[in-house]
Amino acid sequence: MTETPRALAPALLAIRLGLAAMFAVWVADKLLSFETAQRVFSTFYFAAPPKEAILALGIAQGVIVLAFAAGFLRTFSYGAILLMHSVSTIATYERLLEPLARPNILFWAAVPVLGAALALFLLRRYDVLLSLDAMTGRKRRV
């Protein structure tokens, strides 16, 4: 393919902003609702970290989500988003194996989101609309 389709950049921006909005909710949950985050951790990751650890994780995720939303350090930030979502999806594999048991069907929403995160990572060099990397001429690292 020698020419990038005109609709690709707005489509990738829509995926990036949609994923950023979802992850912003995850960050808010860690920063504002420690008990909920601890329950999620104890249910899916077999440990309930202390409040301070959840706060630190929420802040770190928040920085990554802001970089991701801005299209900054695309290889790192898009990869981090993909990794975080991959881990959370794999952690719920038991729920995914029984999709028709309530409320497990809701966990299946993570699967197309994972596909979108992977597609965005693979197409990151074409995600140039409202991207700090593209605006500053920063080249993507392979």
Q: Is residue 139 one of the residues assigned to a domain?
A: no
Number of domains in the chain: 1
Residue 1 falls inside a structural domain: no
pTM higher than 0.85: yes
Closest C-alpha among 47, 29, 48 to residue 38: 48
Q: Which residue pairs from 60-68 have beta carbons closer than 8 angstroms and sit at least 24 positions apart in sequence?
A: 61/23, 61/26, 61/27, 61/30, 62/24, 62/27, 62/31, 65/20, 65/23, 65/24, 65/27, 68/16, 68/19, 68/20, 68/23
* pLDDT at residue number 139: 60
What is the number of other CB atoms lying within 10 angstroms of the CB of residue 30? Answer: 23
pLDDT value of position 142: 41
The tokens for 45 are 């990751």
Range of the domain at 50: 8-132
For every one of its 142 residues, what pLDDT tens digit does the chain have, with 9 covering 90 and above? 456 788 999 999 999 999 999 999 999 999 998 888 888 888 888 788 899 999 999 999 999 999 999 999 999 999 999 999 999 999 999 999 998 888 888 899 999 999 999 999 999 999 999 999 888 876 645 4
